[in-house]
Amino acid sequence: MSFAILRRGFLVCIAAMIAGLTAAHATGKQESEFGQLFNAPGVETTYYACIACHSEMIIAQQGLSRAHWAELLEWMVEEHGMPEIEEPDLTKILDYLSTHYNEDRPNFPKPNEAKP
């Protein structure tokens, strides 16, 4: 009986440790000044080109190939009045998006990291 209680205490302890680690990880991600966007080269250019009209969350939730990102940016210019992005920024942004927000969605936001 007392053995069972000890065992349960041990499991609760492990669970608390895992929860603590997960929380620390989530906090680390949110410290970025670029909100949900993965912090890597090109993030700053992308962030400031894109958040004038909508949250960066709309970008983080997408997963597209480079060609599809290029098409989407054309659509953003034609249909939504985004000022055309000049080189070298365009390449920087497409590199950034197709590396971190490609079809495999490596940085898809997890529910507990989403902003309200």
In the complex, which residues of this chain contact ligand HEC (CB under 6 A)?
49-50, 52-54, 58-59, 62, 72-73, 76, 80-82, 93
Residue among 43 and 76 whose Cβ is closer to ligand HEC: 76
11 secondary structure, DSSP code: H
In the bound complex, what is the minimum distance in angstroms from residue 28's beta carbon to ligand HEC? 24
Residue among 81 and 111 whose Cβ is closer to ligand HEC: 81
In the bound complex, what is the minimum distance in angstroms from residue 111's beta carbon to ligand HEC? 19
CA distance to 1, 55, 76, 115, per residue, from 82 (Å): 68, 14, 6, 24
In the bound complex, what is the minimum distance in angstroms from residue 66's beta carbon to ligand HEC? 12
In the bound complex, what is the minimum distance in angstroms from residue 26's beta carbon to ligand HEC? 23
Residue among 70 and 113 whose Cβ is closer to ligand HEC: 70
Residue among 6 and 84 whose Cβ is closer to ligand HEC: 84
Cα 112 off chain centre by: 12
Q: From CA 68, how far away is CA 77, in angstroms rounded? A: 14
Torsion over CA of 61, 67, 72 and 76, rounded to 10 degrees? 130
Q: Which residue has the tokens 């495999």?
A: 104
